[in-house]
Amino acid sequence: MGKVFKALEVCEMMKVAGKKHNMKTYSMLINGFIKLKDWANAFAVFEDVMRDGLKPDAVLYNNIIRAFCGMGNMGRAIQTVEDMQKERHRPTSRTFMPIIHGFARAGDMRSALEIFDMMRRSGCTPTVHTFNALILGLVEKRQMEKAVEILDEMMLAGISPNEHTYTTIMHGYASLGDTGKAFEYFSKLKNEGLDLDVYTYEALLKACCKSGRMQSALAVTKEMSAQKIPRNTFVYNILIDGWARRGDVWEAADLMQQMKQEEVQPDIHTYTSFINACCKAGDMLRATKTIQEMEAVGVRPNVKTYTTLIHGWARASLPDKALSCFQEMKLAGLKPDKAVYHCLMTSLLSRTSIAEEYIYSGILCVCGEMVQSGLTVDMGTAVHWSKCLRKIENTGGEITEALQKTFPPDWNSYKTLDVVSDTEDSDVGSDDSNSDDGLYYDTYIDGDDDSNFDNLRQF
């Protein structure tokens, strides 16, 4: 980012010196803003090009197409290709790649394949990078069968997959927790003599950790060491998250210590995963200390961090601590999401039999904020919350009225008593305040971080 600002300073110096931009300097500026995903400034520079009466070249057209794809305006991207052709600039595979990937990532494979055909009609021979764009888009949408079909088509066309192709497929299967398939494509990559790097091993580790095969993950890290591939922050994040899923705070803490010894900097994902491990192990003191530690090194907790901590206090049957954490989150300028409200409300309702004033005021406060944010819960949650509420307001009251404003629109027409009766002995209706309220929170807290795809090598 600093380099782009430095470039802008040079632009000002050029203006003062009466020097005009040429196509090369304009292209460099646009490319810099695209890397920052600053579409507005990228288009502003393009307008300057047109205002100066310059004719865009193929490189500039390609950059503007990337910008349109980045902001999701696929129609304008295709129109720019047509404009490019009218100006007698021949599109290349680099021109079509961001469009193909954009459609594939949106799950619009029909349009992606149409652009693929358009590319061929324009005289462009598909490259491994073009196929990789298709595969990456499909993997990001978890459409693995289609991704493998594209891989097969690629090989039939006589184009050999590269490291990026196989690593992308591996990451896709890793996200599904399919360790077998991830190792299968790892073996293909090795057998074809392709280079192994940290991205490849990240995919293997992700598959092992998501499926709970932590011993296999340890074997992978040993192979990384043998290959002299150092562990980076992403690798440690995957491992810590794997142990956190199992609630093994000791293994997670050992990895945190190894990061310090190897001078690998933890990020927000590292700390949040470790806090999750602490919470699952019931070690709320260590979880709280970790919050203080991360703030001391300049890493601010995000919504997911606070949600994890709130869930930890809820598990510990301490809704007052969960409420305090909730207030602290808002004071930090963060906006609670549905998962936060769901977790906090369930925690408060599980302790309604205590008849403490803070429980009632907390329920009313959370209800008010949910209504103000336009958030409602599903019918299963509504039934569970309604049953909890019967402990204090069997025939209705202020809290019942407030809570029902967060229920689905068809709640009043629903046969509540019948549903409650049917679920009397179910897990959802359990009175055990330590129950995890289904997989709702674990799915949210342990869920995949799709930013891993952004860390893959580009086409």
Q: Is residue 63's pLDDT more than 70? A: yes
Separation of first and last alpha carbons in the chain: 22
What is residue 169's predicted lDDT score, i.e. its pLDDT?
95
Q: Is residue 161's pLDDT more than 90? A: yes
- In CATH terms, is domain 161-229 a member of 1.25.40.10? yes
Q: What average pLDDT score do residues 274-287 get? A: 94
Q: Where are the domains positioned within the chain? A: 161-229, 345-447
Residue from 384, 373, 375, 374 nearest 349 by CA: 384
Which two structure tokens, joined as six digits, stand for 199?
Answer: 């991205």
- Residue labelled with tokens 């690593």: 167
The DSSP line for 67-112 is HHHHTT-HHHHHHHHHHHHHTTPPP-HHHHHHHHHHHHHTT-HHHH
What is residue 30's predicted lDDT score, i.e. its pLDDT?
78
Spell 45-66 as b/e; 16+ CB within 10 A means b: bbeebeeeeeebbbbbbbbbbb
Q: What average pLDDT score do residues 222-245 get? A: 93
Decide which of 29 and 368 is more confident.
368
Which two structure tokens, joined as six digits, stand for 32?
Answer: 């810099």
Q: Is residue 74 a contact partner of residue 102, using CB atoms and an 8 Å limit? A: yes
What is residue 436's predicted lDDT score, i.e. its pLDDT?
40
DSSP state of 159: -
What is residue 378's predicted lDDT score, i.e. its pLDDT?
87
Which two structure tokens, joined as six digits, stand for 271?
Answer: 């700390």
Give the pLDDT band of residue 264 (cuts 50, 70, 90). Answer: very high
Give the pLDDT band of residue 384 (cuts 50, 70, 90). Answer: confident
Q: What average pLDDT score do residues 238-265 get? A: 93
Q: Is residue 376 a contact partner of residue 405, using CB atoms and an 8 Å limit? A: no
What is residue 439's predicted lDDT score, i.e. its pLDDT?
39
Name which of 6-15, 87-96, 246-255 the model is least confident about. 6-15
What is residue 241's predicted lDDT score, i.e. its pLDDT?
94
Q: Please tell me the number of Cα atoms within 13 Å of 34 on its side-chain side.
A: 21
Q: Is residue 278 a contact partner of residue 244, using CB atoms and an 8 Å limit? A: no
What is residue 3's predicted lDDT score, i.e. its pLDDT?
62
The amino acid occupying position 107 is G
> Can you tell me the distance from the alpha carbon of 398 to that of 26, in angstroms, rounded to the nearest whole number?
63
Average pLDDT of every residue of the chain:
83
What is residue 421's predicted lDDT score, i.e. its pLDDT?
44
CB atoms within 10 A of CB 386: 22
> Can you tell me the distance from the alpha carbon of 419 to that of 297, in angstroms, rounded to the nearest whole number?
50
What is residue 262's predicted lDDT score, i.e. its pLDDT?
93
> Can you tell me the distance from the alpha carbon of 234 to that of 455, in angstroms, rounded to the nearest whole number?
9
Q: What average pLDDT score do residues 42-56 get? A: 80
What is residue 423's predicted lDDT score, i.e. its pLDDT?
42
Decide which of 448 and 298 is more confident.
298
Q: What share of the chain is helix, strand, coil (3-state, %, to 5)?
A: 70, 0, 30
pLDDT digits (tens, 9 = 90+) for 341-359: 888 888 888 876 665 788 8
What is residue 27's predicted lDDT score, i.e. its pLDDT?
78
> Can you tell me the distance from the alpha carbon of 456 to that of 136, in angstroms, rounded to the nearest whole number?
10
> Which run of H or of E encompasses 310?
helix 303-315
Reduced to 3 states (helix: H, G, I; strand: E, B; else coil), residue 456 is coil
> Can you tell me the distance from the alpha carbon of 6 to that of 137, in angstroms, rounded to the nearest whole number?
34
Q: What average pLDDT score do residues 197-218 get? A: 92
Q: Is residue 324's pLDDT more than 70? A: yes
What is residue 416's predicted lDDT score, i.e. its pLDDT?
46
CB atoms within 10 A of CB 358: 15
pLDDT digits (tens, 9 = 90+) for 401-436: 888 888 888 887 664 444 444 444 443 333 343 444
Which two structure tokens, joined as six digits, stand for 23?
Answer: 């196509």
> Can you tell me the distance from the alpha carbon of 319 to that of 314, in angstroms, rounded to the nearest whole number?
6
Query: What is the share, in percent, of the chain residues with pLDDT greater than 70?
Result: 83
Give the pLDDT band of residue 39 (cuts 50, 70, 90). Answer: confident
